[in-house]
């Protein structure tokens, strides 16, 4: 089966209200099935930021994701984790961090070089830049 670019944005939240969680679920699901597009990974960046913020161990998350749960099953599993932090203050702080995180300038330059954005694009945050990168990767894979 073909490798798949994860096209769910980090700006999307599920019923728990946690931004990036649907994307993390998709990436981990694709990885568990051997279908995550080359160049994508699970466990760094927003992934680790999210899991650390809500106090879910990355190893436990990855082990659970090998079972290939649905998205609602993942949220139910998270709610049952000992010590999980799902209060509104924690979630709001995490969501704000995701929405206001900025990539280093060299990341933006690399996205311009690969054609994901134009050099004069005033894209301020990492989540938006990641979306453009995903769209470029999807388009590149699609035209091949």
pLDDT digits (tens, 9 = 90+) for 95-133: 999 999 999 888 888 988 988 888 887 777 999 999 999
Same domain, 30 and 92: yes
Q: Is there a single domain that holds both residue 67 and residue 10?
A: yes
Coil vs helix vs strand at 6: coil
d(CA 74, CA 70) in angstroms, rounded, equals: 6
Question: What are the tokens at 110?
Answer: 């690399």
- Which whole number is the average pLDDT over 48-68? 98
Does residue 1 register a pLDDT over 70? no
Structure tokens belonging to residue 103: 């990539």
Evaluate if residue 144 carries a pLDDT over 80: no
Reduced to 3 states (helix: H, G, I; strand: E, B; else coil), residue 19 is strand
Total domains in the chain come to 2
Q: How many CB atoms lie within 10 A of CB 33?
A: 12
Q: How many helices (H) and strands (E) does the chain have?
A: 7, 0
Do both 109 and 85 map to the same domain?
no
Q: Which residue has the tokens 């680790």?
A: 48
Task: Please say if the pLDDT value at position 64 is more than 70.
Answer: yes
8, 39: one domain: yes
The verdict on 22 and 48 lying in the same domain is yes
Q: Do 63 and 6 share a structural domain?
A: yes
pLDDT above 90 coverage of the chain, percent: 81
CB 20 within 8 A of CB 9: no
Q: Do 35 and 60 reside in the same domain of the chain?
A: yes
Distances in Å between the Cα of 69 and the Cα atoms of 26, 44, 77 are: 10, 21, 9
Mean pLDDT (whole number) for 76-92: 98
Between residues 26 and 142, the one the model is more confident about: 26
Alpha-carbon dihedral angle through residues 32, 132, 107, 26, given to the nearest 10 degrees: -10
pTM, to two decimals: 0.94
User: Which residue range forms the structural domain that includes residue 78?
Assistant: 1-101
Band the pLDDT of 51: cuts 50, 70, 90: very high
């Amino acid at each position: 089966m073909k490798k798949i670019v994860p096209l769910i944005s980090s700006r999307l939240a599920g019923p728990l209200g946690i931004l990036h969680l649907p994307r993390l679920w998709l990436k981990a699901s694709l990885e568990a099935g051997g279908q995550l597009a080359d160049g994508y990974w699970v466990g760094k960046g927003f992934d680790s930021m999210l899991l650390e913020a809500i106090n879910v161990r990355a190893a436990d998350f990855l082990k659970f994701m090998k079972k290939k749960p649905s998205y609602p099953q993942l949220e139910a599993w998270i709610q049952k984790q000992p010590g999980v932090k799902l209060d509104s203050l924690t979630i709001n702080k995490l969501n704000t961090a995701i929405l206001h995180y900025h990539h280093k300038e060299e990341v933006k330059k690399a996205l311009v070089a690969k054609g994901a954005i134009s050099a004069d694009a005033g894209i301020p945050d990492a989540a938006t830049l990641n979306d453009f990168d995903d769209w470029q990767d999807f388009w590149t894979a699609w035209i091949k």
